Amino acid sequence: MVLQEVSDLLKKQIEVNGKTFSPEKKNTFKLAVLPLFNESGAITILGTTISSRLLSKMYDPGKIVLVEKSQLGRLIDEQSFQKSGLILSNQNLEIGRLSGADLILLGTVQFDDQSFLLQLRVVSLQSGEILAVAESVFDSDDSLYNQYRSVKP
């Protein structure tokens, strides 16, 4: 439910802000969804699971086309990705450009006293501008907490 709400919010913002971003594109954008980081900048199993689920939620035929993660994986390896942290670095912008994406979705999942804070943003790879933001809080349980603590190898 949380992912559906945040993805709907992001898609609406992309639709509105995308018109000024790229009118020649007829409002069809290629979106790369990156793994989500924790507050330490590590990719966890929970962050990977959430970003994978966001793929299907963000797909919007005729408006948002998704770039396959394996395509991103050919451009970089996971280790350098983890070291890049949450920062929208020149490296992340270049990764997105090389993948053919117009937009990149990135964010964090943070644990705070029995709940998680999910923060997402969609950034234009052409201008570096943030086109959409969403934030949500969801309750933790033992399974989610264990996924959060497990850093992806």
Whether 98 and 92 have beta carbons less than 8 Å apart is answered as no
* Residue 105: strand pairing partners: 33, 122
Structural domain total, the chain = 1
Containing domain of residue 94, as a range? Answer: 2-18+26-149
Q: Within 10 Å of residue 7's Cβ, how many Cβ atoms?
A: 22
Q: In 10 A of CB 29, how many CB atoms?
A: 23
* Cα–Cα distance measured from residue 11 to residue 150, given in angstroms and rounded to the nearest whole number: 30
d(CA 42, CA 38): 6
Whether the pTM exceeds 0.85: the reply is no
Q: What is the pLDDT along the chain (153 residues), one digit of tens a residue?
A: 688 999 999 999 998 888 776 656 566 898 988 888 888 888 888 888 898 889 889 999 989 999 876 555 555 444 344 444 434 556 555 665 666 788 889 899 988 778 889 999 998 887 888 999 999 988 877 666 676 677 766
Specify the amino acid at residue 107: G
Q: Residue 116 sits in a domain of what CATH number?
A: 3.40.50.10610
